[in-house]
Amino acid sequence: MHVTHLSLADFRSYARVEVPLEPGVTAFVGANGQGKTNLVEAVGYLATLGSHRVASDAPLVRMGAERAVIRAAVTQGERSQLIELELNPGKANRARINRSSQVKPRDVLGIVRTVLFAPEDLALVKGDPGERRRFLDELITARSPRMAGVRSDYERVLKQRNTLLKSAAMARRHGGRSMDLSTLDVWDQHLARAGAELLARRLDLIATLQPLTDKAYEQLAPGGGPVTLEYRGSAGGGAAQTREELYEQLMDALGEARKQEIERGVTLVGPHRDELLLKLGEMPAKGYASHGESWSYALALRLASYDLLRAEGNEPVLVLDDVFAELDARRRERLAELVAPGEQVLVTAAVDDDVPGVLAGARYRVADGAVEHV
């Protein structure tokens, strides 16, 4: 798929901007702080309903404005669709598809698919486990938009279960009457049901991603691997694979953890506590890999995501936000060659020289709130 037109109103630094787009490569070039990332962040938002830079919507709305609107025309094969998202921080966001407002924002998921490379990606390797969980879960949702519902069910159940545990912990500490724990049993089942579905998807994704990541790493840094993706579940590892087995495993682990959970007032078992261990050779990349190796690893994970999504039918838009300046000449060239054949590739760079030669294509100058074709 590709985006044929992007239109923003009160999004980030833009009061209004219209950007016609073609398939192939488009580069946005301009000095720092001129609004290049803001453009591609909006494209990414259409694909994930979130920003790759911030956790909430508020910073996405232009300072002083009440709401932001992202509009895009999208073409997949013969089919064209118009999507519109209205961001209302603190209130419900709204969506329209082909001018119909009988849809929820979540219905937009799956129309635009992106694989976004950004300087922030280094945190995939060096950052907290939450970064890697988000990577997995966003890719799961891109593969299967229905999973957005399962993810939010899980988050909701987790929140309510934590509230319950917290009051149990308080009651215990203050010597009040002990709580009726049968309510907790019900929450355990809800948590394990949504958790098992998410877990099954993560395990399936990792199995699929493993060979693709190893291949991509080899292409970026020949002889530097192998890389291994290892899932470390908080409910214990082992043979559990089917959703039913994972459910049982989660229920058992919750049973074992209960005493400790009531003491601490927080849910200690479940996908929200799991870790994706990234190994380079025999060692974990985090804490051991060099800066360059960590970069190659992060890029390999994104390239593997791209391979996976395109193999499953709907080719995603590739977004490379200011990444070439971060890389040495060899990695820069390899990466550029690997992404060049993409159906649509959006690149941002501070100067023309940061855009590799194989990525020649349309070019926009971004300065003073304007985006101009050159």
Contacts with ligand ADP by CB under 6 A lie at 12-13, 30, 32-38, 59, 61-63
Choose between 4 and 13: whose C-beta lies nearer to ligand ADP.
Answer: 13
Choose between 68 and 285: whose C-beta lies nearer to ligand ADP.
Answer: 68
Spatial distance between the Cα atoms of 87 and 171, rounded to a whole number of angstroms? 40
Q: Verify binding: residue 38, Mg ion, rule CB under 5 A.
A: no
Choose between 138 and 322: whose C-beta lies nearer to Mg ion.
Answer: 322
Strand pairing category for 94-97 and 79-87: antiparallel
Name residues whose C-beta falls within 8 Å of residue 206's C-beta, 6 or more positions apart in sequence: 136, 229, 231, 276
Is 369 assigned a ligand-binding role in the annotation? no
Strand pairing category for 275-280 and 227-232: antiparallel
CB-CB contact of 296 with 217 (8 Å): yes
Minimum distance from CB of 21 to ligand ADP (Å)? Answer: 17
Is 58 assigned a ligand-binding role in the annotation? no
Minimum distance from CB of 12 to ligand ADP (Å)? Answer: 4
Binding mask 299-338 for Mg ion (x = CB under 5 A): -----------------------x----------------
Is 37 assigned a ligand-binding role in the annotation? yes
Is 33 assigned a ligand-binding role in the annotation? yes
Spatial distance between the Cα atoms of 106 and 94, rounded to a whole number of angstroms? 10
Strand pairing category for 227-232 and 68-76: unpaired
What one-letter code names the amino acid at 12?
R
Spatial distance between the Cα atoms of 204 and 194, rounded to a whole number of angstroms? 16
Choose between 12 and 71: whose C-beta lies nearer to ligand ADP.
Answer: 12
Q: Minimal CA–CA distance to 44: which of 229, 265, 305?
A: 305
Choose between 35 and 342: whose C-beta lies nearer to ligand ADP.
Answer: 35
Q: Verify binding: residue 37, Mg ion, rule CB under 5 A.
A: yes
Binding residues: 30-37
Which residues contribute to the site for Mg ion (CB under 5 A)?
37, 322
Task: Summarize the annotated binding site for ATP as residue ranges.
Answer: 30-37
